[in-house]
Amino acid sequence: MSRSLPTVLALLVAVPALGADLEEAARRLIDHQRREGRAYDHLTELCDDIGHRLSGSPAAEEAVRWGAETFRSFGLDARLHRIEVPKWVRGRPEVVRLTAPRDVVLHALALGGSIATSANGLEAPVLVVETFEELRRRADEAEGRIVLFNKRMGPDGNGGTHGYGDVVPQRVAGAIEAAKVGAVGSMIRSVGTADYRLPHTGMMRYQDGVPRIPHVAIAAEDADLIERLVARGKPVRVSMRLDCRSLGEVPSANVIGELRGRERPDEVVVIAAHLDSWDVGQGAHDDGTGVVACIEALRALKELGLVPRRTIRAILYMNEENGLAGGTAYAEDFAHELERHVAAIEMDIGAFGVQGFGVSAGEGGVETVRGLARPLAAIGADRITEGGGGADIGPMRAHGVPQLGLRSDATRYFDYHHTEADTLDKVDPVELGKCTAALAYLAYALADADEPLPRLDG
Ligand SMILES: [Zn+2]
């Protein structure tokens, strides 16, 4: 295929040559992770020695100590950024049952933040709807009932996230909308993609002025059962007994590790993940993989002597899952430094097949990252797409800090997300190593660049 001269020139302009030193840095980081990467060892400690670690729990505090000690054990600087986090406890395991037309145990998890029922529990007939719109249309049927929101996640699409954004509102605000029309309890079909009768927990909210009602997630199979029974005209009733409660705010911390830049140490590239998890499983993919990738990225860069011009700061945030206290407090307490934060990269999509990065930056930023990421083609991590970031680094967006999010193949992420099955065995050490190398390399490339990425409009 021949190209016209203008086309060739345009290509040359669009893809500037990459310095041999960057190609070399990428090659060394990829090779280092393949041969002597330790991300999976760190993850084994986090998952098997500490386990799940909901904000405010003793395990979360242990994870904070572990994070700081792990950075220091590699000769890296580490400090704690003290914050306050909400403390919610599940208490005795929830009991949710179908009581009519026959008695069946439903596989359920209270959603994080839900109130308890009375000690005797509550029992009511069920109204099945799919969406808030349907609930409003059928509002006169909701009084005194338990509402089941039975909205399915879509097929893999929508950026590989199965339309997560379409189903998550029922989890977050289902109790509010159900209570507004007189319901006494609410349930959702679990936000997830696997059919192994697993409930998926997650964050929910109440609203001032609207009665607070218990809110639980049930397994997809149990939601289907209820829907089928209702469709056949059976009188369906459910009972629930929950012991969970909120215990106010308690002290906790973000953990900050640092590799100090050699020329402009006060300019910072952030790499980020969240240290907390839900109180089920081991928080392995969500977000243990991100945490250990951040730790291992700094260890690898230091060990290989790849010290960039600017500082790379790894932030292990606390409370991403149920409040975002860590991300919010960081942007507030470090506001005076954010002008010199040149980029932030978050990893919070599990460590499946690494694909690349989503990028939100000022004009030309996506193209710049695309150029920098070319050496990551060796591990399939060079796909750079418009739009990226993450929940924890989100509050820095208003300060203009360019936002990047590592992308991995999310086809199976929501099989495990927020369930008892998010455990170490689901993580492939080779894929985790590739994610780590991609994160380390891009942070290095951005921190060593002549010019920082164009900023967002603050
Ligand atoms: Zn997460």
Mean pLDDT of 98-118: 98
Q: What's the CA-to-centroid distance between 376 and ligand 1, angstroms? A: 24
313 within a domain of the structure (yes/no) = yes
Q: Render pLDDT for 213-258 as a digit per residue (tens, 0 to 9).
A: 999 999 999 999 999 999 999 999 999 999 999 999 999 999 999 9
Residue 403 pLDDT greater than 50, yes or no = yes
Query: Could you tell me if 118 and 47 lie in one domain?
Result: no
What angle do the packed helices 365-372 and 429-448 form, to 10 degrees? 120
What is Dmax (Cα atoms) for the chain?
Answer: 79
Cβ 124 vs Cβ 237: under 8 Å: yes
Q: What's the CA-to-centroid distance between 327 and ligand 1, angstroms? A: 13
Kindly list the catalytic residues: 320
Q: Which residues of 409-441 are buried (b: 16+ CB within 10 A; e: fewer)?
A: bbebbbbbbbbbbbbbebbebebbbbbbbbbbb
Residue 169 pLDDT greater than 60, yes or no = yes
- Report d(CA 113, CA 116) in Å as an integer: 10
**How high is the pLDDT of residue 20?**
82
Domain boundary among 243, 277, 304: 243
**How high is the pLDDT of residue 410?**
87
Q: What's the CA-to-centroid distance between 165 and ligand 1, angstroms? A: 14
Domain boundary among 243, 273, 302: 243
Q: What's the CA-to-centroid distance between 290 and ligand 1, angstroms? A: 9
Residue 286 pLDDT greater than 60, yes or no = yes
Predicted structure pTM score:
0.94
Q: What's the CA-to-centroid distance between 429 and ligand 1, angstroms? A: 19
CA atoms within 13 A on the CB side of 115: 16
Enclosing domain of residue 341:
17-87+248-448
Q: How sure is the predictor about 2, in pLDDT bands with cuts at 50, 70 and 90?
A: very low
**How high is the pLDDT of residue 194?**
82
**How high is the pLDDT of residue 1?**
43
Strands (E), 6-62: none
The number of domains in the chain is 2
**How high is the pLDDT of residue 284?**
98
**How high is the pLDDT of residue 162?**
76
Which are the contacts of 117, defined by CB distance < 8 A and separation ≥ 6? 185, 214, 240, 241, 242
Q: What's the CA-to-centroid distance between 261 and ligand 1, angstroms? A: 28
**CATH number, domain containing residue 319:** 3.40.630.10
Closest to 120 (Cα-Cα) out of 149, 146, 95, 147:
95
Query: Could you tell me if 33 and 107 lie in one domain?
Result: no
Q: Render pLDDT for 358-399 as a digit per residue (tens, 0 to 9).
A: 999 999 999 999 999 999 999 999 999 999 999 999 999 999
Q: What's the CA-to-centroid distance between 279 and ligand 1, angstroms? A: 13
Cβ 358 vs Cβ 283: under 8 Å: no
Domain boundary among 222, 243, 264: 243
454 within a domain of the structure (yes/no) = no
Which are the contacts of 221, defined by CB distance < 8 A and separation ≥ 6? 107, 195, 197
Cβ 241 vs Cβ 120: under 8 Å: yes
CA atoms within 13 A on the CB side of 50: 27
Q: How many other CB atoms are found less than 10 A from the CB of residue 304?
A: 15
Q: How sure is the predictor about 163, in pLDDT bands with cuts at 50, 70 and 90?
A: confident
Cα 398 to the center of its chain, rounded Å: 20
Residue 10 pLDDT greater than 60, yes or no = no
**How high is the pLDDT of residue 274?**
98
**CATH number, domain containing residue 160:** 3.50.30.30
142 within a domain of the structure (yes/no) = yes
For residue 358, the cross-strand partners are 385, 405
